[in-house]
Structure 1
Amino acid sequence: MIPVTTFLGKTVALFGLGGSGLATALALKAGGARVVACDDNPAKMAEAAAQGIETGDLRGLDWSKVSALILSPGVPLTHPEPHWSAKLAKEAGVEIIGDIELFCRERAKIAPNAPFVAITGTNGKSTTTALIAHILREAGRDVQMGGNIGTAILSLEPPSDNRIHVIECSSFQIDLAPSLAPSIGVHLNLSPDHLDRHGTMELYAAIKERLVAKADFAVIGIDDPMSRAIAVACESRGVNVARISVEPLGAKGVFADGETLVEVTASDAAPVANLSGIGSLRGAHNAQNAAAAVAVARALNVTLEKIRSGLRTFPGLPHRMEEVGRIGETLFINDSKATNADSTEKALKSFDTILWILGGKAKEGGIEPLREYFPKIRKAYLIGAATEEFATTLGSAVPYIRCGTLDTAVEQAAFDAQALGTPAVVLLSPACASYDQFPNYEVRGNRFRDLVRALPGLETKGA
């Protein structure tokens, strides 16, 4: 835990007692603050109270005595309208911040030179965060990884000059962290997402830009127009920028030439690593992720030998193009984390002869943006609430079957794959949220993995 001492002796209101919210309440209490915590879920309130956290209805607080409102990133700050707790804080002139901001303030107080790598982007940020942390650990560094990737930042070990914090940041977290100024900021890409929470694409981009705007060193992907503009804006403010791309670069950075990563410096351009045969990093999108990780590792003086070893041994993330196993020439891939079309596109680009399991709670735009990949799909297996919408989009372009459940889809896809008589991929890449049938994408992906592993004849890595 990182005790938050910057609110010692002060009263802090907190709304949202999920994993990060509870960790934040405990860290504030450990640092000497009086915390009054609230949640819409009475069970969460009871759990916090059982751990010694004062709970209560924030509407009854004397807000003139409150120093800050700590808001869970899942709670609306601005759109579609501010949460009632945020309205109370604004009316009282109380600052509204989140756990990333608390980390930043504590770091500034106890170890201002502690290495801090922060990563954001619409897609790829979890893979990039995990890959950076893996490379650094393989190089023998003391690494703490957390944030949006799963472990609450204040549950980690405290900052120190010899410890590197590698932190994934969502746009919601950045919006609640006004003093965010990492040693190394990484911005990967931008595409429409979370617009219900940010209002416009322009505001969403501006929030993402904050992560790199005050970084000592910024690694910025330039494969979309808004991200290119962020790189230019940061340089104009004097930020030291390294660009990453899946196209050749004419400026300092790292780019992917197919499966080869090339580093561009002021004096030359030279290959530094090759991704060939690394299943956890297949596809152009992962080449961009790997380019970012290489740029960060180089900035932290990791040797090329250690970088290459880290790339080769990276296990990948669960539920993100995860290889579950093979039956004969059929590969089974768990890409449950692909909850929108843009994310699913990365998987469809990476394979041919696809038996595609998709569906759930559809996002705006559905799967229409994926039409150019329909010729690669031998058959689609529709599940969940999006079934009829997706059936209409597929039309006569792709053979499909309404499976209803994931269990039926896996069984049918495995049967059809064996009948093909050619190498194929059974791909769970839903392009949908999971909430119609599963609590989250992890539960959905775990179910897929269990179903596949129960199939006769499955071969897994290391078996």
Structure 2
Amino acid sequence: MIPVTSFAGKTVAVFGLGGSGLASCHALKAGGAEVIAADDNADNVARAAQAGFTTADLRTVSWVNFAALILTPGAPLTHPAPHWSVLKAREAGVEVIGDVELFCRERRRHAPNAPFVAITGTNGKSTTTALIAHLMKVAGYDTQMGGNIGTAILSLEPPRMGRVHVVEMSSYQIDLTPSLDPSVGILINISEDHIDRHGTLEHYAAVKERLVAGVQQGGAAIVGVDDIWCRNIADRLDRAGNRVVRISVKNPLPDGLYVEHETIVRAQGAARSEIARLGGIGSLRGLHNAQNAACASACALAMDVASDVRQNGRRSFPGLAHRLEQVGRRG
């Protein structure tokens, strides 16, 4: 668990008591905060009470002493309308954030240079996250994987040098993380999705952009450029002076990583070099997985993982359950 010390001595409201919400309650309490837990689901409230937390109906209590509202990503922040707890917080001038924001604040307080890889995209997030975590483990890192992929981020071990956090993030989580600052940020792709929660595709893309725009100075923003949204984002990051690594599985690039005949190629001006071969790796079949593998390879390069470790890690990657798993062979 990661104790959240940034709210020590303060009172914090937590709305949404599923896995990440309850983990936030434990982390805040361990860091010295007083927690008021709430949920629209009575069973979740009962579980929080059994775990020793004070529960309340946030519709009826005073918000004057709340330092923050920690909101579940499942509750809408903006569209189609803000959740009632968000409106209450805004009326009281209380900031609304999520559990990944708590992680970012703890990392900055205690280990600001600890490696932190954040991954987003409309498709491929989970496979890319799992592959990067696998590569980091093979490279010898103490690897903590979580976020949208399953384990609540505050249930992981605390940031420190030599330990890498590999975190999958949905657009909902990014929306609740205003100071998101990974050392490596990855935006795989953008296509129309979650418009009910973001209003427009433009707003959805803008939320995704924040993950790579917030990369720490000296870090790497890795962006798949096979769609117009991501191409424009990469260009904006370039103009802002960020270090951008472009990824394509459709076209050769003058600078970046691209896939050609099941080979990941690195282009640096006129120079071309083979980074990895994907042929024969069953867990990475298909063009979509080539994109995932190229993004993961760019991350491993940014983390200075040796070439033989990268290749061995890709070949030993088991893939995710029910994602192009081989169930048998005939003949």
TM-score by length of 2: 0.97
Match status 1:300 vs 2:271:
no
1:107 aligned counterpart, secondary structure: helix
How far apart are the structure 2 equivalents of 1:255 and 1:65? Answer: 53
Name 2:244's counterpart in structure 1. Answer: 241
Describe the superposition over 1:404-427 as per-residue Cα deviations: whole angstroms up to 9, x where unpaired. Answer: xxxxxxxxxxxxxxxxxxxxxxxx
CA drift at 1:60: 2.3
Name 1:283's counterpart in structure 2. Answer: 286
Taking only the aligned residue pairs, the percentage that are identical comes to 61
The residue identity in structure 2 corresponding to 1:116 is F
In the alignment of these two chains, the number of paired residues is: 328
Describe the superposition over 1:80-136 as per-residue Cα deviations: whole angstroms up to 9, x where unpaired. Answer: 111111110011111100001000001000001111000000000100000001011
CA drift at 1:279: 0.9
How far apart are the structure 1 equivalents of 2:296 and 2:184? Answer: 11
How far apart are the structure 2 equivalents of 1:300 and 1:28? Answer: 31
For the Cα contact (< 8 Å) 1:214–1:239, is it kept in 2?
no
1:207 aligned counterpart, secondary structure: helix
Name 1:269's counterpart in structure 2. Answer: 272
Name 1:219's counterpart in structure 2. Answer: 222
The residue identity in structure 2 corresponding to 1:81 is A
How far apart are the structure 1 equivalents of 2:255 and 2:24? Answer: 39
Name 2:37's counterpart in structure 1. Answer: 37
Bigger CA radius of gyration: 1
For the Cα contact (< 8 Å) 1:254–1:261, is it kept in 2?
yes
CA drift at 1:324: 2.6
How far apart are the structure 2 equivalents of 1:168 and 1:252? Answer: 26
Name 1:320's counterpart in structure 2. Answer: 323
Match status 1:145 vs 2:145:
yes
For the Cα contact (< 8 Å) 1:243–1:251, is it kept in 2?
no
Trace 1:424-463 onto structure 2 (pairs within 5 A).
Answer: none
The residue identity in structure 1 corresponding to 2:213 is A
Q: Higher relative CO (CA 8 A, sep ≥ 6), structure 1 or 2?
A: 2
Match status 1:311 vs 2:309:
no
Match status 1:198 vs 2:201:
no
Root mean square deviation of aligned Cα:
1.1
CA drift at 1:267: 5.6
Name 2:234's counterpart in structure 1. Answer: 231
Trace 1:34-73 onto structure 2 (pairs within 5 A).
Answer: 34-73=34-73
2:308 aligned counterpart, secondary structure: helix
How far apart are the structure 2 equivalents of 1:73 and 1:149? Answer: 13
CA drift at 1:271: 1.1
Name 1:104's counterpart in structure 2. Answer: 104
Name 2:3's counterpart in structure 1. Answer: 3
CA drift at 1:54: 1.3
How far apart are the structure 1 equivalents of 2:109 and 2:203? Answer: 31
The residue identity in structure 1 corresponding to 2:156 is L
The residue identity in structure 2 corresponding to 1:305 is D
For the Cα contact (< 8 Å) 2:115–2:165, is it kept in 1?
yes
Match status 1:118 vs 2:121:
no
How far apart are the structure 1 equivalents of 2:36 and 2:179? Answer: 24
How far apart are the structure 2 equivalents of 1:251 and 1:39? Answer: 51
CA drift at 1:46: 1.0
How far apart are the structure 1 equivalents of 2:24 and 2:186? Answer: 24
Name 1:25's counterpart in structure 2. Answer: 25
How far apart are the structure 1 equivalents of 2:9 and 2:254? Answer: 50
1:63 aligned counterpart, secondary structure: coil
CA drift at 1:322: 2.1
For the Cα contact (< 8 Å) 2:117–2:184, is it kept in 1?
yes
The residue identity in structure 2 corresponding to 1:70 is I
How far apart are the structure 2 equivalents of 1:53 and 1:266? Answer: 58
How far apart are the structure 2 equivalents of 1:27 and 1:66? Answer: 17
The residue identity in structure 2 corresponding to 1:21 is G
CA drift at 1:305: 0.2
1:250 aligned counterpart, secondary structure: coil
For the Cα contact (< 8 Å) 2:254–2:270, is it kept in 1?
no
How far apart are the structure 2 equivalents of 1:179 and 1:89? Answer: 19
Give ranges in structure 2 of 5+ residues lacking alignment. none
How far apart are the structure 1 equivalents of 2:64 and 2:163? Answer: 38
How far apart are the structure 1 equivalents of 2:169 and 2:154? Answer: 13
Name 1:461's counterpart in structure 2. Answer: none
For the Cα contact (< 8 Å) 2:252–2:259, is it kept in 1?
no
How far apart are the structure 2 equivalents of 1:98 and 1:264? Answer: 38
Trace 1:142-221 onto structure 2 (pairs within 5 A).
Answer: 142-215=142-215, 216-221=219-224
Describe the superposition over 1:208-236 as per-residue Cα deviations: whole angstroms up to 9, x where unpaired. Answer: 00000021310000000000001011111
How far apart are the structure 1 equivalents of 2:229 and 2:223? Answer: 11
Alpha-carbon distance change, 77 to 254 in structure 1, aligned in 2, over 3 angstroms:
same
2:158 aligned counterpart, secondary structure: coil
The residue identity in structure 2 corresponding to 1:229 is N
